[in-house]
């Protein structure tokens, strides 16, 4: 994949520096809002905390969750609630996903990946398609992850692919193996489908 760059061994601060440079570049290109989508889970939030330490005009940033659990925003499992607590004090706008929402193109789609190859909440059992007509979908993972046994709402593959750049942050040998197999075309997991359809630059921090 000529559009893929893998960067190994970077800590949270270095990844935050890279993300900040991407946002700064986009902000320098125009005076309008910069819209991104970001992941939930345990890995991204420490990076986001480092990112918010950078001197950027956060009032121009619009943050979309890539997915969320179907819980109230004050629930401990809510990605959106956590994003609000981080980004809104800095002046950024945080969007709540809903199935009727029109999804804009993203300057940057930041994603994670599960050991089962899911991206956002597009789990293998949901058979996500790169030509899905829906921008946002409600779904039920099967099996339900025991640490978060909730229905989900998620951006679809076309919404994720409507971005200028994709970036993944993955941790652990198991996930790296799944990623390598997807890059090689040796599986049909959601990560493999997304990478096969991506035409924009893709950066993977492992």
> Tell me: the pLDDT tens digits for 68-79?
999 999 999 999
Which pTM does this prediction carry? Answer: 0.94
Q: Quick one: how far is CA 178 from the chain centroid?
A: 17
Q: What is the pLDDT of residues 193-205, one digit of tens each?
A: 999 999 999 999 9
Taking the CB of residue 1, how many other CB atoms lie within 10 A of it?
A: 12
Give the whole-angstrom CA distance, residue 68 versus residue 125: 17
Backbone phi and psi for residue 97, each to the nearest 5 degrees, phi listed first: -70, 135
Taking the CB of residue 181, how many other CB atoms lie within 10 A of it?
A: 15
In this structure, the dihedral spanned by the alpha carbons of residues 122, 22, 93 and 155, taken in order and rounded to 10 degrees, is -10
- Architecture category of domain 4-205 in CATH: 3-Layer(aba) Sandwich (3.40)
Only one residue has tokens 């005009």, namely 57
Give the whole-angstrom CA distance, residue 137 versus residue 121: 9
pLDDT at 43: 87
**Band of pLDDT at residue 42, cut at 50, 70 and 90:** confident
Is pLDDT above 80 for 30? yes
pLDDT at 146: 85
Give the whole-angstrom CA distance, residue 160 versus residue 166: 8
Instruction: Give mean pLDDT, residues 130-143.
Output: 95
pLDDT at 100: 81
**Band of pLDDT at residue 123, cut at 50, 70 and 90:** very high
State what percent of residues in the chain have pLDDT above 90: 91
Extract the tokens encoding 73: 């925003």
């Amino acid at each position: 994949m000529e559009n893929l760059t893998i960067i190994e061994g970077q800590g949270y601060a270095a990844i935050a520096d890279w993300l900040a440079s991407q946002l700064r570049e986009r902000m320098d290109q125009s005076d309008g809002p910069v819209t991104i989508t970001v992941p939930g889970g345990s890995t991204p939030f420490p990076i986001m905390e480092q990112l918010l330490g950078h001197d950027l005009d956060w009032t121009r940033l619009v943050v979309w969750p890539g997915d969320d659990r179907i819980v109230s925003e004050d629930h401990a499992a809510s990605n959106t609630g956590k994003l609000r607590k981080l980004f809104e004090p800095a002046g950024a706008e945080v969007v709540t996903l809903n199935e009727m929402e029109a999804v804009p193109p993203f300057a940057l789609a930041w994603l994670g990946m599960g050991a089962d190859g899911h991206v956002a909440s597009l789990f293998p059992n949901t058979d996500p398609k790169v030509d899905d007509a829906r921008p946002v979908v409600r779904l039920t993972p099967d099996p339900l992850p025991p640490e978060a046994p909730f229905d989900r709402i998620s951006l679809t593959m076309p919404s994720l692919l409507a971005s200028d750049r994709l970036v993944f942050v993955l941790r652990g040998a198991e996930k790296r193996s799944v990623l390598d197999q997807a890059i090689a075309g040796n599986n049909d997991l959601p990560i493999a489908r997304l990478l096969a359809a991506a035409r924009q630059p893709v950066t993977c921090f492992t």
